[in-house]
Protein backbone atom coordinates (compact mmCIF):
# COMPACT_ATOMS: atom_id res chain seq x y z
CA UNK A 1 0.00 0.00 0.00
CA UNK A 2 2.81 2.38 0.91
CA UNK A 3 4.65 1.61 -2.33
CA UNK A 4 1.55 2.48 -4.34
CA UNK A 5 1.21 5.86 -2.66
CA UNK A 6 4.94 6.58 -3.03
CA UNK A 7 4.79 5.91 -6.78
CA UNK A 8 1.72 8.09 -7.22
CA UNK A 9 3.25 10.86 -5.10
CA UNK A 10 6.49 10.74 -7.11
CA UNK A 11 4.60 11.09 -10.37
CA UNK A 12 2.47 13.97 -9.06
CA UNK A 13 5.60 15.74 -7.79
CA UNK A 14 7.18 15.49 -11.23
CA UNK A 15 4.04 16.70 -13.00
CA UNK A 16 3.69 19.68 -10.66
CA UNK A 17 7.30 20.61 -9.93
CA UNK A 18 9.50 18.96 -12.55
CA UNK A 19 13.19 19.63 -12.01
CA UNK A 20 13.57 23.06 -10.33
CA UNK A 21 16.93 24.55 -11.22
CA UNK A 22 17.36 25.96 -7.74
CA UNK A 23 17.43 22.48 -6.21
CA UNK A 24 20.32 20.01 -6.65
CA UNK A 25 19.48 17.18 -9.02
CA UNK A 26 20.92 13.66 -8.61
CA UNK A 27 21.66 13.37 -12.34
CA UNK A 28 24.02 16.35 -12.09
CA UNK A 29 25.90 14.54 -9.34
CA UNK A 30 25.95 11.36 -11.41
CA UNK A 31 27.42 13.27 -14.33
CA UNK A 32 30.25 14.57 -12.15
CA UNK A 33 30.95 11.10 -10.78
CA UNK A 34 30.99 9.62 -14.29
CA UNK A 35 33.42 12.28 -15.49
CA UNK A 36 35.69 11.70 -12.48
CA UNK A 37 35.66 7.89 -12.88
CA UNK A 38 36.34 8.23 -16.60
CA UNK A 39 39.36 10.44 -15.93
CA UNK A 40 40.69 7.95 -13.40
CA UNK A 41 40.25 5.03 -15.80
CA UNK A 42 41.95 6.85 -18.67
CA UNK A 43 44.92 7.74 -16.48
CA UNK A 44 45.32 4.12 -15.49
CA UNK A 45 44.54 2.40 -18.81
CA UNK A 46 45.24 3.70 -22.30
CA UNK A 47 45.21 0.75 -24.70
CA UNK A 48 41.96 -0.28 -26.46
CA UNK A 49 41.93 -3.77 -24.95
CA UNK A 50 42.50 -2.53 -21.40
CA UNK A 51 39.98 0.27 -21.86
CA UNK A 52 37.40 -2.26 -23.01
CA UNK A 53 37.93 -4.30 -19.86
CA UNK A 54 37.93 -1.18 -17.71
CA UNK A 55 34.68 -0.10 -19.34
CA UNK A 56 32.90 -2.66 -17.17
CA UNK A 57 33.96 -0.67 -14.12
CA UNK A 58 31.92 2.37 -15.13
CA UNK A 59 28.44 0.86 -14.66
CA UNK A 60 29.59 -1.16 -11.66
CA UNK A 61 30.91 1.91 -9.86
CA UNK A 62 28.33 4.47 -10.96
CA UNK A 63 25.12 2.41 -11.02
CA UNK A 64 26.19 0.33 -8.03
CA UNK A 65 27.16 3.48 -6.19
CA UNK A 66 23.83 5.16 -6.98
CA UNK A 67 21.98 2.15 -5.58
CA UNK A 68 24.19 1.94 -2.49
CA UNK A 69 24.09 5.64 -1.62
CA UNK A 70 20.30 5.78 -2.02
CA UNK A 71 19.77 2.64 0.05
CA UNK A 72 22.09 3.97 2.78
CA UNK A 73 20.25 7.30 2.85
CA UNK A 74 16.85 5.63 3.21
CA UNK A 75 18.16 3.28 5.90
CA UNK A 76 19.55 6.25 7.85
CA UNK A 77 16.22 8.04 7.64
CA UNK A 78 14.39 4.90 8.78
CA UNK A 79 16.23 5.17 12.10
CA UNK A 80 14.43 8.47 12.68
CA UNK A 81 10.98 8.04 11.16
CA UNK A 82 9.26 5.96 8.45
CA UNK A 83 7.60 9.17 7.26
CA UNK A 84 11.01 10.59 6.37
CA UNK A 85 11.73 7.47 4.33
CA UNK A 86 8.46 7.74 2.41
CA UNK A 87 8.91 11.45 1.69
CA UNK A 88 12.54 11.00 0.62
CA UNK A 89 11.70 8.01 -1.54
CA UNK A 90 8.87 9.84 -3.31
CA UNK A 91 11.12 12.81 -3.98
CA UNK A 92 14.04 10.71 -5.19
CA UNK A 93 11.84 8.69 -7.55
CA UNK A 94 10.35 11.92 -8.90
CA UNK A 95 13.84 13.06 -9.92
CA UNK A 96 14.18 9.98 -12.14
CA UNK A 97 10.97 10.89 -14.03
CA UNK A 98 10.76 13.72 -16.56
CA UNK A 99 7.20 13.88 -17.89
CA UNK A 100 6.86 17.60 -17.15
CA UNK A 101 10.31 18.44 -18.47
CA UNK A 102 9.68 16.47 -21.65
CA UNK A 103 6.37 18.21 -22.27
CA UNK A 104 7.83 21.64 -21.50
CA UNK A 105 10.75 21.07 -23.88
CA UNK A 106 8.42 20.06 -26.69
CA UNK A 107 6.07 22.96 -26.08
CA UNK A 108 8.98 25.40 -26.13
CA UNK A 109 9.65 24.41 -29.76
CA UNK A 110 5.93 24.43 -30.57
CA UNK A 111 5.44 27.94 -29.19
CA UNK A 112 8.22 29.39 -31.33
CA UNK A 113 6.96 27.61 -34.44
CA UNK A 114 3.46 28.95 -33.88
CA UNK A 115 4.87 32.46 -33.59
CA UNK A 116 6.82 31.93 -36.80
CA UNK A 117 10.13 32.56 -35.07
CA UNK A 118 12.23 29.95 -36.87
CA UNK A 119 15.62 30.95 -35.34
CA UNK A 120 14.14 30.73 -31.82
CA UNK A 121 12.54 27.37 -32.65
CA UNK A 122 15.87 26.06 -33.89
CA UNK A 123 17.51 27.22 -30.67
CA UNK A 124 14.82 25.56 -28.54
CA UNK A 125 15.17 22.31 -30.47
CA UNK A 126 18.94 22.45 -30.16
CA UNK A 127 18.52 22.29 -26.37
CA UNK A 128 17.03 18.79 -26.55
CA UNK A 129 18.64 17.09 -29.58
CA UNK A 130 22.19 16.36 -30.64
CA UNK A 131 21.66 17.02 -34.35
CA UNK A 132 22.53 20.29 -36.07
CA UNK A 133 19.47 22.54 -36.17
CA UNK A 134 20.76 25.67 -37.94
CA UNK A 135 19.32 24.75 -41.36
CA UNK A 136 16.12 22.93 -40.34
CA UNK A 137 12.74 24.07 -41.65
CA UNK A 138 9.47 23.80 -39.70
CA UNK A 139 8.54 20.18 -40.66
CA UNK A 140 12.03 18.95 -39.81
CA UNK A 141 11.90 20.70 -36.44
CA UNK A 142 8.54 19.09 -35.79
CA UNK A 143 10.08 15.72 -36.66
CA UNK A 144 13.00 16.27 -34.31
CA UNK A 145 10.71 17.29 -31.46
CA UNK A 146 8.26 14.44 -31.94
CA UNK A 147 11.12 11.93 -32.15
CA UNK A 148 12.58 13.27 -28.91
CA UNK A 149 9.27 13.16 -27.06
CA UNK A 150 8.53 9.65 -28.34
CA UNK A 151 11.97 8.17 -27.64
CA UNK A 152 12.15 9.59 -24.12
CA UNK A 153 8.82 8.11 -23.04
CA UNK A 154 10.81 4.95 -22.30
CA UNK A 155 13.91 6.16 -20.49
CA UNK A 156 12.39 9.26 -18.87
CA UNK A 157 9.11 7.76 -17.66
CA UNK A 158 8.29 4.08 -18.16
CA UNK A 159 11.66 2.56 -17.21
CA UNK A 160 12.23 4.55 -14.00
CA UNK A 161 8.66 3.88 -12.86
CA UNK A 162 9.03 0.16 -13.56
CA UNK A 163 12.30 -0.08 -11.64
CA UNK A 164 10.85 1.99 -8.80
CA UNK A 165 8.03 -0.55 -8.60
CA UNK A 166 10.48 -3.45 -8.53
CA UNK A 167 13.12 -2.02 -6.22
CA UNK A 168 12.06 1.35 -4.88
CA UNK A 169 14.16 4.50 -5.09
CA UNK A 170 17.52 2.64 -4.98
CA UNK A 171 16.78 0.66 -8.15
CA UNK A 172 15.21 3.68 -9.87
CA UNK A 173 18.34 5.71 -9.14
CA UNK A 174 20.56 2.86 -10.36
CA UNK A 175 18.57 2.84 -13.60
CA UNK A 176 18.96 6.61 -13.95
CA UNK A 177 22.71 6.17 -13.47
CA UNK A 178 22.79 3.57 -16.28
CA UNK A 179 20.84 5.89 -18.56
CA UNK A 180 23.12 8.83 -17.74
CA UNK A 181 26.15 6.67 -18.46
CA UNK A 182 24.75 5.79 -21.87
CA UNK A 183 24.11 9.45 -22.69
CA UNK A 184 27.67 10.41 -21.70
CA UNK A 185 29.87 7.51 -22.81
CA UNK A 186 27.67 5.14 -24.81
CA UNK A 187 28.84 6.31 -28.23
CA UNK A 188 30.32 4.23 -31.03
CA UNK A 189 32.99 6.78 -31.89
CA UNK A 190 36.74 6.57 -31.51
CA UNK A 191 36.70 8.10 -28.03
CA UNK A 192 34.11 5.85 -26.41
CA UNK A 193 33.90 2.70 -28.52
CA UNK A 194 36.05 0.76 -26.03
CA UNK A 195 35.31 2.53 -22.77
CA UNK A 196 31.55 2.92 -23.22
CA UNK A 197 30.49 -0.42 -24.69
CA UNK A 198 29.40 -1.96 -21.37
CA UNK A 199 27.38 1.11 -20.42
CA UNK A 200 25.61 1.12 -23.78
CA UNK A 201 24.83 -2.60 -23.61
CA UNK A 202 23.50 -2.31 -20.05
CA UNK A 203 21.23 0.56 -21.08
CA UNK A 204 19.90 -1.55 -23.96
CA UNK A 205 19.14 -4.42 -21.58
CA UNK A 206 17.55 -2.14 -18.97
CA UNK A 207 15.18 -0.60 -21.53
CA UNK A 208 14.35 -3.77 -23.47
CA UNK A 209 11.11 -4.69 -21.68
CA UNK A 210 10.00 -1.11 -20.92
CA UNK A 211 10.29 -0.19 -24.62
CA UNK A 212 7.91 -2.95 -25.63
CA UNK A 213 5.51 -2.13 -22.82
CA UNK A 214 5.54 1.46 -24.06
CA UNK A 215 4.58 0.43 -27.60
CA UNK A 216 1.56 -1.46 -26.28
CA UNK A 217 0.56 1.40 -24.01
CA UNK A 218 0.86 3.91 -26.87
CA UNK A 219 -1.48 1.75 -28.94
CA UNK A 220 -4.02 1.88 -26.12
CA UNK A 221 -3.49 5.64 -25.76
CA UNK A 222 -4.00 6.14 -29.50
CA UNK A 223 -7.34 4.36 -29.20
CA UNK A 224 -8.37 6.45 -26.18
CA UNK A 225 -7.39 9.69 -27.95
CA UNK A 226 -9.18 8.59 -31.12
CA UNK A 227 -5.99 8.47 -33.13
CA UNK A 228 -5.08 5.70 -35.57
CA UNK A 229 -4.42 2.87 -33.12
CA UNK A 230 -4.53 0.19 -35.83
CA UNK A 231 -1.81 1.94 -37.82
CA UNK A 232 0.07 2.47 -34.56
CA UNK A 233 0.31 -1.26 -33.93
CA UNK A 234 0.95 -2.07 -37.59
CA UNK A 235 3.82 0.43 -37.77
CA UNK A 236 5.42 -0.97 -34.63
CA UNK A 237 5.33 -4.49 -36.03
CA UNK A 238 6.77 -3.37 -39.37
CA UNK A 239 9.26 -0.62 -38.50
CA UNK A 240 10.41 -0.87 -34.87
CA UNK A 241 13.25 -3.29 -35.60
CA UNK A 242 14.64 -1.06 -38.37
CA UNK A 243 15.85 1.49 -35.84
CA UNK A 244 19.58 1.26 -35.01
CA UNK A 245 18.66 1.11 -31.33
CA UNK A 246 17.05 -2.15 -30.14
CA UNK A 247 14.56 -0.10 -28.10
CA UNK A 248 14.03 3.41 -29.49
CA UNK A 249 12.20 2.16 -32.57
CA UNK A 250 9.26 0.94 -30.50
CA UNK A 251 8.01 4.27 -29.11
CA UNK A 252 9.02 6.19 -32.24
CA UNK A 253 7.23 3.85 -34.64
CA UNK A 254 4.18 3.76 -32.36
CA UNK A 255 3.87 7.55 -32.30
CA UNK A 256 4.52 7.80 -36.05
CA UNK A 257 1.78 5.27 -36.78
CA UNK A 258 -0.71 6.89 -34.40
CA UNK A 259 -0.17 10.33 -35.94
CA UNK A 260 0.05 9.15 -39.56
CA UNK A 261 3.45 10.74 -40.13
CA UNK A 262 6.92 9.49 -41.02
CA UNK A 263 9.79 9.86 -38.59
CA UNK A 264 13.44 9.10 -39.25
CA UNK A 265 15.48 10.16 -42.25
CA UNK A 266 18.62 12.25 -42.60
CA UNK A 267 20.09 14.13 -39.63
CA UNK A 268 23.30 16.13 -39.55
CA UNK A 269 25.68 15.80 -36.61
CA UNK A 270 28.61 18.23 -36.51
CA UNK A 271 28.35 18.72 -40.25
CA UNK A 272 28.16 15.00 -41.08
CA UNK A 273 24.91 13.60 -42.51
CA UNK A 274 23.56 10.37 -41.03
CA UNK A 275 20.53 8.37 -42.16
CA UNK A 276 18.15 6.77 -39.67
CA UNK A 277 15.57 4.24 -40.83
CA UNK A 278 12.11 5.59 -41.55
CA UNK A 279 9.35 4.97 -39.01
CA UNK A 280 5.82 5.15 -40.39
CA UNK A 281 4.37 6.40 -43.66
CA UNK A 282 4.08 10.08 -44.71
CA UNK A 283 0.29 10.09 -44.93
CA UNK A 284 0.34 13.86 -44.48
CA UNK A 285 2.74 16.76 -43.92
CA UNK A 286 4.00 17.20 -40.38
CA UNK A 287 2.62 20.26 -38.59
CA UNK A 288 3.45 21.96 -35.26
CA UNK A 289 0.25 20.51 -33.77
CA UNK A 290 1.88 17.08 -34.03
CA UNK A 291 4.06 18.14 -31.10
CA UNK A 292 0.92 18.65 -29.03
CA UNK A 293 -0.46 15.26 -30.08
CA UNK A 294 2.82 13.54 -29.25
CA UNK A 295 2.85 15.25 -25.84
CA UNK A 296 -0.72 14.11 -25.18
CA UNK A 297 0.23 10.55 -26.04
CA UNK A 298 3.23 10.78 -23.72
CA UNK A 299 1.27 12.20 -20.78
CA UNK A 300 -1.59 9.73 -21.12
CA UNK A 301 0.87 6.85 -21.47
CA UNK A 302 2.71 7.93 -18.32
CA UNK A 303 -0.53 8.42 -16.36
CA UNK A 304 -1.81 4.97 -17.32
CA UNK A 305 1.49 3.30 -16.49
CA UNK A 306 1.90 4.88 -13.06
CA UNK A 307 -1.69 3.84 -12.34
CA UNK A 308 -0.88 0.27 -13.39
CA UNK A 309 2.26 0.31 -11.21
CA UNK A 310 0.34 1.62 -8.20
CA UNK A 311 -2.36 -1.02 -8.68
CA UNK A 312 0.28 -3.74 -9.02
CA UNK A 313 2.01 -2.57 -5.84
CA UNK A 314 -1.31 -2.50 -3.98
CA UNK A 315 -2.22 -6.03 -5.14
CA UNK A 316 1.31 -7.26 -4.50
CA UNK A 317 1.03 -6.35 -0.81
CA UNK A 318 -2.42 -7.89 -0.51
CA UNK A 319 -4.43 -4.66 -0.80
The yes-or-no verdict on residue 318 having pLDDT over 70 is no
Query: What is the DSSP track for 223-263?
Result: HHTTS-HHHHHHHHHHHGGGSSSTTTHHHHHHHHHHHT--E
pLDDT, average across residues 27-52 = 90
pLDDT for res 87: 96
Confidence of residue 316 (pLDDT cuts 50, 70, 90): confident
CB 253 within 8 A of CB 239: yes
pLDDT, average across residues 210-225 = 98
Taking the C-alpha atoms of residue 26 and residue 236, their distance in angstroms, rounded to an integer, is: 34
* Of the listed ranges 44-48, 111-115, 164-168, the one predicted with least confidence: 44-48
SS3 278: strand
The yes-or-no verdict on residue 11 having pLDDT over 90 is yes
The yes-or-no verdict on residue 319 having pLDDT over 60 is no
pLDDT for res 16: 94
The yes-or-no verdict on residue 267 having pLDDT over 90 is yes
- Tell me the per-residue pLDDT of 85-108, one tens digit each, with 9 for 90 and over: 999 999 999 999 999 999 999 999
pLDDT for res 218: 98
User: Among 83, 100, 68, which residue's Cα sits nearest to residue 169?
Assistant: 68
pLDDT, average across residues 180-189 = 89
Report the C-alpha dihedral over residues 87, 180, 113, 232, rounded to 10 degrees.
-90
Confidence of residue 190 (pLDDT cuts 50, 70, 90): confident
Confidence of residue 23 (pLDDT cuts 50, 70, 90): confident
Please state the pTM of the whole predicted model.
0.93
pLDDT, average across residues 33-61 = 90
Average pLDDT, the chain: 94
pLDDT for res 22: 75
Confidence of residue 25 (pLDDT cuts 50, 70, 90): confident
pLDDT, average across residues 272-283 = 93
pLDDT, average across residues 107-119 = 96
State phi, psi for 279 to the nearest 5 degrees.
Answer: -120, 115
pLDDT for res 248: 95
Taking the C-alpha atoms of residue 183 and residue 177, their distance in angstroms, rounded to an integer, is: 10
Taking the C-alpha atoms of residue 183 and residue 195, their distance in angstroms, rounded to an integer, is: 13
pLDDT, average across residues 187-214 = 93
Amino acid sequence: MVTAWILLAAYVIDRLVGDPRRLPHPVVGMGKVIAAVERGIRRRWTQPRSLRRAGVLLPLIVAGGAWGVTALLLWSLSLMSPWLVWIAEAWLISTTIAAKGLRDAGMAVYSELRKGDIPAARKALGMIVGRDTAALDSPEMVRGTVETVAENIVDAIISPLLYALLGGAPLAMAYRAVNTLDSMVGYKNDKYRDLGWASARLDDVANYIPARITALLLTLCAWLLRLDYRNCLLTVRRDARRHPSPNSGYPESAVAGALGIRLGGYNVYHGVASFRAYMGEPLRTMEPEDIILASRLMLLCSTLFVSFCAAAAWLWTGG
